[in-house]
A and B are shown apart, each in its own frame.
Chain A
Amino acid sequence: MSPEFRDAAVQVTYLVASVLFIFSLKWMNSPQSARRGVWAGVWAMVLGVGGTLLNPAVAVSSLPWIALAVMVGGLIGVPLSKVPLTAVPQRTALSHAFGGLAAGLVGTAKYYLWLHEGGANLTTFRMFAISAEVILGFLTFTGSLMAAGKLQEILPGRPITYRGQLMINFLTLGGAIACATGLIINPQWFFLFPPLVILSLAFGVMLIIPIGGADMPTVIALLNAYAGLSAVAMGFVLDNTLLIIAGALDGSSGLILSIIMCKAMNRSFSNVLFGAFGSAQEAAGGEAGKTVKSASAAEAAEIMGQADEVVIVPGYGMAVAQAQHRVRELYDQLTKRGIKVKFAIHPVAGRMPGHMNVLLAEADIPYDDLIEMEEINPEMPQVDVVLVLGANDVVNPAAKNNPKSPIHGMPIIEADRAKTVLAVKRSMKPGFAGIDNELYTMDKTLMVFGDAKAVVGDMAKALAGDSGMH
């Protein structure tokens, strides 16, 4: 094959791959077509890699080494795809780290390669793109590792703060940008490159440690956007349209998801990144004078058994207790009696965007019964029983009524407007964000204390036993 033909073949495969990547995401618009979307993505990747191997610059002698590297990655990738669904947020963060690392390394390699050649290829624009790629790539790498560590609870989930933190963070990022500016002015100032890498790595760590566990859904989405943008920067470095298109798709996905997450918590980006949410816990303890009413699982089951409509509000606590399959049994028992059962899903339920839907889908709950917050709230006054299961902040009326609450203004699932509220909780300890919840002390609320899995199991059993008597 002549080099011209090969160049043309590379461009055509990239074109087809780009179109397939767009369709891959487009088909994610409904559960019916989504699996087709995965296949489109797989084919796009195969074409992208295959097309690149056609590039005349890739020597035949390198192919075995490339194949070996792919196999090593694949061997790590397969177990990473089999993690329990509760661990998907960590896995996602970890894979952002791998993506960031790859981008950072390629940027570094290209810089030294072109410097080694004499620097004619290190144009101003390319140096700008390399700097962006290296900063974004390496900060995504360490930042995602920190996020994964927090989600896996290897690192403390509470924000780590210290005096002058904001200043030090800005100086670190400022230092990295100063190095980048120097390199753009004169790419031959190679002594600026190692500090650029080190400061970017350090900034990734410093950016994430002051952010609390409750904000991780937003952080993961934001890191997703950074990973995409570093791929775009790589595309500009290498004059590669496929990288630019795929990176832009990824970047816009991360951006939209982080906007959705921010809106769902009524926070701004800067507030998430610099607010050290959850560190303020001074107002705790005001609950002391109020009493709560409690009920047994069997009593709660009886109340549900008499309802026409039950809405279950699941939270991450349900998944931690591994209660999904018991929830399915409860769902079956209730629907068997002709009771309408719906699940109210808050956008930040779980630990990443859409997490709760996946957790319930795993327990075979049909997705038709998973209802978004905005759709379920207007129905709430007609709902007989709301069962709050491991959720806390997303049903806290303080978000509406108490301007002093740290979550004030956050949209919530309005469980407090239902006729009866049943809340399953291990104890009266405040939730992930460390805030008291007045829903539990309302007159129409009955607390069912205990482990979610055991309690829901008992409820299902009570309903099953009871139905025989009718």
Chain B
Amino acid sequence: MTPFLAAAGPSGLTAYIPLIFVFILATFIGLDVIRNVSRLLHTPLMSLTNAISAVVIVGAILVAGPSVSDEHPLWITILGLVAIAAASVNIVSGFLITNRMLKMFKSRKPEEKS
């Protein structure tokens, strides 16, 4: 696993500037997008972001992925697998419950106007 920026510098902060840019811009997008979320939907929003934050499964897979060897001890793999399971709980329950809640939101039915 060669991180695509590792070659740019051994320890310098400069190698990480592009990632810091990404972080800052993503935060601005996030603040703007979330501000426009309807207050009606703040509970589903929270369960949706629960599921989205389970993207940490990506890191967990990278830890659990390499075959076990002297350089990659078994217990590291086990930590990674536990992390994968924990993140999967959030992915599955987060998306399912968000969908379940959103199905309940209905507009006023036209026949009730009579």
A residues at B contact (CB < 8 Å): 7, 11, 18, 21-22, 24-26, 28-31, 34-35, 37-38, 41-42, 44-45, 48-49, 52-53, 55-59, 61-62, 65-66, 68-74, 76-78, 80-83, 85, 88, 91-92, 95-96, 98-99, 101-103, 105-106, 108-110, 112-113, 116-117, 120-121, 123-125, 220-221, 224, 227-228, 230-232, 234-257, 260, 335, 345, 347, 352-355, 357-358, 361-362, 364, 366-370, 372
Residues from chain B with Cβ under 8 Å of A335 in the complex: 112
Contact of B42 among A49, A103, A354 (CB under 8 A): A354
Residues from chain B with Cβ under 8 Å of A82 in the complex: 96-97, 100
Contact of B66 among A62, A101, A345 (CB under 8 A): A62
Contacts A69-B81, A69-B84, A125-B13 given; does A242 touch B58 at CB 8 Å? yes
Residue from A26, A124, A227, A249 with most neighbouring chain B CB atoms (10 Å): A249
> Looking across the interface, which residue of chain A has its beta carbon closest to that of B91?
A45
Residues from chain B with Cβ under 8 Å of A345 in the complex: 39
Residues from chain A with Cβ under 8 Å of B90 in the complex: 73, 77, 95, 98-99
A239 touching B104, Cβ below 8 Å? no
Cβ distance A357 to chain B, nearest Cβ, rounded Å? 5
Contacts A95-B89, A105-B60 given; does A252 touch B31 at CB 8 Å? yes
Residues from chain B with Cβ under 8 Å of A99 in the complex: 50, 53-54, 56, 86-87, 90
Cβ distance B44 to chain A, nearest Cβ, rounded Å? 7
Contact of A88 among B47, B67, B95 (CB under 8 A): B47
A65 touching B76, Cβ below 8 Å? no
Bound together, the chains give a CA A270 to CA B65 distance in angstroms of 41
Cβ distance A56 to chain B, nearest Cβ, rounded Å? 8
13 new A-B contacts at CB < 8 Å, known A35-B103, A49-B61, A62-B66: A21-B52, A28-B41, A34-B44, A45-B52, A48-B57, A81-B94, A92-B46, A106-B63, A116-B71, A125-B15, A239-B6, A244-B23, A370-B40
B30 touching A109, Cβ below 8 Å? no
A254 touching B89, Cβ below 8 Å? no
Contact of B76 among A113, A227, A238 (CB under 8 A): A113
Contact of B43 among A96, A117, A235, A355 (CB under 8 A): A355
Bound together, the chains give a CA A304 to CA B33 distance in angstroms of 41
B98 touching A38, Cβ below 8 Å? yes
Cβ distance B98 to chain A, nearest Cβ, rounded Å? 5
Bound together, the chains give a CA A125 to CA B22 distance in angstroms of 16
Residue from A72, A228, A231, A252 with most neighbouring chain B CB atoms (10 Å): A252
Contact of A73 among B48, B53, B91 (CB under 8 A): B91
Residues from chain A with Cβ under 8 Å of B26 in the complex: 18, 244-245, 248-249
| In the A-B complex, the 5 residue pairs with the closest CB atoms | A73-B88, A354-B42, A77-B92, A252-B30, A58-B65
Bound together, the chains give a CA A252 to CA B79 distance in angstroms of 28
Bound together, the chains give a CA A344 to CA B65 distance in angstroms of 51
Interface size class of B (residues with CB under 8 A): 35 or more
B59 touching A238, Cβ below 8 Å? yes
Q: List 7 A-B contacts (CB under 8 A).
A: A31-B107, A74-B88, A106-B60, A113-B63, A253-B34, A253-B45, A354-B43
Residues from chain B with Cβ under 8 Å of A38 in the complex: 48, 95, 98-99, 102
Contacts A99-B86, A243-B58, A247-B55 given; does A59 touch B106 at CB 8 Å? no
Contact of A364 among B19, B62, B106 (CB under 8 A): B106
Contacts A22-B33, A76-B89, A228-B49 given; does A244 touch B22 at CB 8 Å? yes
Bound together, the chains give a CA A76 to CA B85 distance in angstroms of 9
> Looking across the interface, which residue of chain A has its beta carbon closest to that of B24?
A248
Bound together, the chains give a CA A358 to CA B43 distance in angstroms of 7
Contact of B40 among A120, A247, A357 (CB under 8 A): A357
> Looking across the interface, which residue of chain B has its beta carbon closest to that of A22?
B29
Contact of A125 among B16, B91, B100, B102 (CB under 8 A): B16
